[in-house]
Amino acid sequence: MPLVPPYIEALKPYVPGRNSEEVRRQFGLEHVVKLASNENPLGPSPLALEAIHAAAGSVHLYPQSGLRLREALAKRYGVKVENVIAGSGSDSIIAAIVRTFLCDDDEILTTEAAFGGFQVTAKSRGVPYRTVPYRDWHYDLDALADAVTDHTKIIYLANPNNPTGTIFGREDFERFYKHVPERVLIILDEAYFEYAKDNPRYPDSMHYRLDNVITLRTFSKVYGLAGLRVGYGFAHEDLIRNLLKVKMPFEPGTLAEAAAVASLEDSAFVERSLAVNASGLRFVQQELRHRGISIVASDANFVMANFRSPEEANKFTGELLVRGVIVRPLISFGLPSSVRISIGTDEDNRALFSAFDDAFSSSGDHEDDKHLCFQ
């Protein structure tokens, strides 16, 4: 019997995006713009920073497993604290879900090229991991419903989806849900919920309160707390009660919890973050199209660009990288010809296209010369 199970030996680890300091040193650059990890370019809320400072004196004490944050979230969303879980990022809660609910003869079902972090966690359990193709870069919920078998235990849906930025609508979700047995747990990963919530088509899962659905959200995106790792979830109290048995104790940490609770009160910061993203998203999508790059229209804080080959995608990321702009190749997600570009500040977004034009624009004045051509 091998010490390491075969499915772990075969597992490909999650590959994070390059960090700015690493790129700065590698290429001898003074300034680097990171548009690779869907972070809030404005940083965290000032209230969060104040809360971190105030809580720093108690870091010698163990945290209370997120109880204060759970209470704040329960009050915010009108549910009982028993319906809320908090952890060190939504990734941590996903890991707890996998450990809590999957048996050896179960299987996981999702779309192809799902969020890379979920792929790694799900495949680490050693049960069948099944996918269906995208339909025009959207979840094909009808095909997913048809793919459910007697062994399906978990269906993972991200809405908006990472890395495509697309959403599925209310009617699609409601039709899909009617065909899913109650014994199947649906994970609705809404990490980018705030960016899509005002879209009239968006099916905010909190409006459904379905017994076999768990909603996951995060403070890493619009709240700007990616470095502190705070995620949370809503579900039926029976699901939460069992998850709390398995979730790692004492998470989230003291400073993370304090920052998250404070961030919930800073609506002005959230609104500013959403406004910066909306303006930047329009600009980045427009400029990418203008340069002849195929993109997927996004409802999140990033855009996915599609190229004709992995070689073109690699050329695009490489040429930007040496000019100090980091974007995210999607090889590890299973999309080697695609690249994900986060939305930054106005200055960041302009730096992206300045680097692009420096690398790829022809010296000619014809419009065709401005379009991407790697051949």
What does the H/E/C string look like for 125-145? Answer: CCCCEEEECCECCECCHHHHH
**pLDDT score at 97:** 98
pLDDT in tens, 20-46: 999 999 999 999 999 999 999 999 999
What's the CA gap between 296 and 292, in Å, rounded? 13
pLDDT at 371 over 60: no
Cα angle, residue 265 at apex, residues 259 and 270 outer, rounded to 5°? 90
Reduce the DSSP state of residue 259 to 3 states and report it.
Answer: helix
Among 246, 257, 121, 253, which Cα is nearest to 189's? Answer: 121
| Cross-strand partners of 326 | 34
**pLDDT score at 370:** 43
Give the single-character DSSP code of 110: E
pLDDT in tens, 344-361: 999 999 999 999 999 998
Q: Is the pTM of this model over 0.85?
A: yes
The structural domains of the chain, ordered by start, are 6-31+268-370 (3.90.1150.10), 46-265 (3.40.640.10)
Instruction: Look up residue 119 and give its two tokens.
Output: 């792929």
Cα angle, residue 91 at apex, residues 238 and 33 outer, rounded to 5°? 150
pLDDT in tens, 64-78: 999 999 999 999 999
- Give the containing element (helix H, strand E) for 75: helix 67-77
Residues 6+ apart with CB under 8 A from 13: 120
**With the CA atoms of 112, 97, 215 and 340 taken in that order, what torsion angle do they form, in degrees rounded to the nearest 10?**
-40
pLDDT in tens, 252-309: 999 999 999 999 999 999 999 999 999 999 999 999 999 999 999 999 999 999 999 9
- Relative orientation angle of helices 116-123 and 90-101, to the nearest 10 degrees: 30
Question: Average of pLDDT values for 148-163?
Answer: 98
Question: Average of pLDDT values for 305-321?
Answer: 97
Instruction: Look up residue 365 and give its two tokens.
Output: 């004045």
pLDDT at 373 over 80: no
Question: Average of pLDDT values for 116-124?
Answer: 95
pLDDT at 365 over 50: no
**pLDDT score at 372:** 54
- Confidence at 362, pLDDT banded by 50, 70, 90: low
Question: Average of pLDDT values for 139-147?
Answer: 98
Among 217, 220, 135, which Cα is nearest to 169's? Answer: 135
